[in-house]
Structure 1
Amino acid sequence: MPFPDAVTVQVRDQSLNLLGVVSDFTSLTLKPRFNDVGTFVLSIAADSAKAALLLPGNGLVIRRGSKVLMSGPIREPNWDSGQGRGTLTVNGVDDMALLAGTACWPKPTAAANAQTDPVYKISAVVAETAMRALVNLNIGPGAQAARKISNLTLASDGLHGPTITKQVNQFDNLLTVLQDIGKTAGLGFRIVQVGSNLQFQVYEPADLSATAKFSFALGNLTSASYSVTAPTCTKAIVVAGGETTARVVKDYTRADPAFPGPWIEQFVDKTDVDSTVADRDAQMDQAADEALTAGAAQVALSITPIDTPFLQFGRDYTVGDKVSCQVRDDFLSDVVREVEIGFSAQDGYVAKAAIGSPDATDKNDPDAAYTAYFKQLFNRMRRAETRKPS
């Protein structure tokens, strides 16, 4: 089975110049993720003329037609002797890894020894504008020379999303901060190669639930599994002040009608916020919104779709878009969180999509649970470290 609709694998150098096309790979797997770092794995005969291009420092640009499915650096080449000269397999990540490897400085344009502020303040700014500013000032065109990624640009500001007020603790991870804003604002973001540059883009995911439908009856679905995880937070208890100013406590409730019963409280520590500042309530509101969104019931739908002439990944829908899938007698609509696409001479083209709430597919993964726990613990420690001494 051929790889559908002209999937092209290009190799780029460190300056993002295109060096050639790899058309003789033996297998390719890529996993684009919504608002997260994607991955790719490519295997090729070690004696291929193109194998010499697949070196750390270079990268891949993977297209379907004119659309870039993924671009990113090669991280791990591996050679296996096998038959003949063997097989070269390279692993890599997409360019979103730039965000995952960046900390948010409280004074982004100042030197390291001037980072004395405990927080970076976002005050009554449209969500997309705030997200662009965080990238621009930390690693984009507006960053100091030592931190600037010279070939990173920003797409124009579409002013998407609501107005937000938020404090970012010093050295919080940039990707995590953007994910938190994106979840509550309903926005997607990505970094992808455009021409000879990388571009940070913020966008509103498309609602394709009326047109992008999957079902066995339509002939574009081979398997599906569905699960729901109960909420972990339906009432956020937000506490501000208490260090040098009086403590203020507010509670926020977001009931889930599918899970009636007593509320589930969660303490949200905003004691780093001075309770006398004018935007205290806005910051508490934002913190509560993020906690309630993260703690809402998780819906997970895993499907194995079939590309048809009428509906194809990368052409008609992509990660972040809302699609519909028939579950028993009804169609369930939700966001495509990730798609794992594989091609090999033996198995042909295979795609598997995860649809549903953020991180829903990891709820039953013990490693993911530990990661979430330690992330929460780290954030609490970071907040404690950034408080002003009494």
Structure 2
Amino acid sequence: MSNALKVYVRNSTLQRLGQVSEYSSLTVVPRYNAIGAIALELPADSPSAPLLVEGNGLIVKTAGGDTVLTGPIRTVDWTRSDSDAGGGQLKVGAVSDDEILARYACWPTPTAAIGSQTVPVYKINTPSVEAGMRDLVNLNAGPGAQASRRHALLTLAANGARGLALVREVNHFDNLLTVLQDIAAAAGLGFRVTQVGNNLQFQVFQPVDRSKTARFSFGLGNLTDANYSTTPPTCTRAIVVAGGGTSPRVCKTYDRADPLFPGLVLEQFVDQTSVDSTSVDLTAQMDQAGNEALTNGAGQGSLSISPIDLPQLRYGRDYNVGDTVSAQLRGGTWYTDVVREVTLTSTVGDSSVKATIGGDNADGTVARIYQYIARIKKDVGRLTTRKAA
């Protein structure tokens, strides 16, 4: 029997070297707006083993030829026991090509040399969110970057002008991936870096709401298990301070009650002293900083489900990471949220899919799964109180 997913090895210039057809285990984790992972196990004396070295990369495709994930090999571990009659086992780890974005910082003046970085922020004012994201990538890592910073293989997909106009300031030398995640989350957009031909292409896309068609429940027979968990908040009150240097100091607090801990107050200082308090957009900048601190410090909820691929509903065809799906959970109610990551496992003659839903603030507020769990726990609490009475 053959493996459900196909694995190929590429070299440092993205040329395909060969196929890994004899692997014993493969786990692929595509993630929405984040770095994915690939874990591969195979006999160390297999024909393709010499290709699996740091510096090369992996390409994972479905049996139908669709790309699942691509990325560079980061670890190659060898083990052998005295009971192993062969040459031992190789465990190969790779990350998705999105990791390129985490290598770079956002320079306040990307076209200037490091000794000429005299301003504290990079200002974005573009007709669409996608245009602003593309500019950040292009000027800091892509074809428009300085020669010393330019990634030779990185290109940009055509501008689809997704999202509304974007006006924003980026603090000097903030991590490029983190900034893109914040911008995309606020706009409800997705982005990725994937191999296209012999280049690595930065793409922005609009996730699809499939909550009416991609529905999972035990009753429908397309779910084997489900669980949810929560992480408490770290900030419910943001104290934003602007100015104080060459302009008067301005302080303001922003509060957001936590659904599970409504009386809990956790204060966090948000340093905006680099912002001139006489700026015409001071209020907007302080509001943005306060809301981002509350969003990043909000309580988190995560839902994991194990769907069964059926002819009517399959991962990669009927839903993908970033899409919105529905799952029927505790109490029989339906919960709807974004697929954050999917774990695809493939062995000889067998395969499985596990999806993680929610757990991130894509809409700029406390994750909906967290609010859902808070409501469920309150309902259970009221029920217990009635029984006790």
Structure 1 and Structure 2 fold alike (TM over 0.5)? yes
1:67 maps to which residue? 66
Matched, 1:54 2:52: yes
1:172-229, Cα deviation, whole Å (9 max, x unpaired): 1111111111222222111001111111111221111111111111111111112344
CA deviation after TM superposition for structure 1 residue 256, in Å: 6.0
Q: TM-score, normalised by structure 2?
A: 0.84
- Indicate the residue corresponding to 2:308 in structure 1: 306
Matching of residues 92-131 of structure 1 within 5 Å: 92-123=94-125, 126-131=128-133
CA change 1:156–1:181 in 2 (3 A) is same
Counterpart position of 1:208: 210
Root-mean-square deviation (CA, aligned residues, Å) is 2.4
Deviation at 1:2, TM superposition (A): 5.5
Change (3 A) 1:333 1:49: same
Q: In 1, Cα distance between the equivalents of 2:328 and 2:74?
A: 39
Task: Pick one of 327, 331, 335 that aligns with 1:332.
Answer: 335
Q: Is contact 2:257-2:263 (8 Å) kept?
A: no
1:190 aligns with 2:192: yes
Q: 1:185 to 1:255 in 2, by over 3 A?
A: farther
Between 1:190-199 and 1:162-171, the stretch displaced more is: 162-171
CA distance in 1, matches of 2:146, 2:186: 29
Distance of 2:93 and 2:150 partners within structure 1 = 26
2:185 aligns to what SS in structure 1?
helix
Give SS of 1:284's match: helix
Q: Write out per-residue CA displacement over residues 335-359 of structure 1, whole angstroms, 9 at most, x where no aligned residue.
A: 111122222249x313222111229
Q: 1:184·1:289 contact (CA, 8 Å) conserved in 2?
A: no
Distance 1:95 1:109 in 2: 25
Distance 2:334 2:91 in 1: 40
Shift in CA distance, 279/250, structure 1 to aligned 2, threshold 3 Å? same
Q: Using a 3 Å threshold, how does the CA distance of structure 1 residues 322 and 24 change in structure 2: closer, same or farther?
A: same
Q: 3-state DSSP class of the match of 1:37?
A: coil
Residue of structure 2 equivalent to 1:161: 163
In 2, Cα distance between equivalents of 1:68 and 1:244: 53
Q: TM-score, normalization: structure 1? A: 0.84
Unaligned runs of 5+ in 1: 364-390
How far, CA to CA, are the matches of 1:100 and 1:307 in structure 2?
A: 33
Percent identity over the alignment? 56
Residues 1:263 and 1:158: Cα distance change in structure 2 (over 3 Å): farther
Report the Cα distance in structure 1 between the residues aligned to 2:126 and 2:254, rounded to whole angstroms: 20
Larger radius of gyration: 2
Partner of 2:373: none
Rounded to whole Å, the distance in 1 between the matches of 2:142 and 2:60 is 24
Give the whole-Å Cα distance in 2 for the aligned partners of 1:330 and 1:259: 23
- Contact 1:121–1:166 under 8 Å retained in 2: yes
What is the DSSP-based 3-state SS (H/G/I as helix, E as strand, rest coil) of the residue aligned with 2:100?
helix
Which position in structure 2 is the counterpart of 1:9? 7
Task: Measure how far apart 1:102 and its partner are.
Answer: 1.3
Q: Is the 8 A contact 2:236 2:264 kept in 1?
A: no
The 3-state SS of whatever aligns with 1:183 is helix
- Compute the displacement of 1:51 (Å): 1.5
Distance 2:300 2:140 in 1: 32
Q: Distance in 2 between matches of 1:147 and 1:350?
A: 40
- 8 Å CA contact 2:238, 2:254 repeated in 1: yes
Partner amino acid, structure 2, of 1:223: D
The residue number in structure 2 matching 1:91 is 93
Does the Cα contact within 8 Å between 1:9 and 1:22 map onto a contact in 2? yes
Which blocks of at least 5 consecutive residues in structure 2 are unaligned? 362-366, 371-389
3-state secondary structure, aligned to 2:6: strand
Contact preservation (8 Å) 2:324, 2:336: yes
Distance in 1 (CA, whole Å) between partners of 2:118 and 2:140 is 16
Q: Name the aligned partner's letter for residue 241 of structure 1.
A: G
CA distance in 2, matches of 1:69, 1:139: 24
1:341 aligns with 2:344: yes
Alpha-carbon deviations, 1:29-84, whole Å to 9, x = none?
Answer: 11111111111111222222212221211111111234321100011112223331
**Selected match of 1:22 from 20, 37, 46:** 20
Aligned residue for 2:145?
A: 143
Q: For the Cα contact (< 8 Å) 1:183–1:293, is it kept in 2? A: no
Return the offset for 1:310.
Answer: 1.5
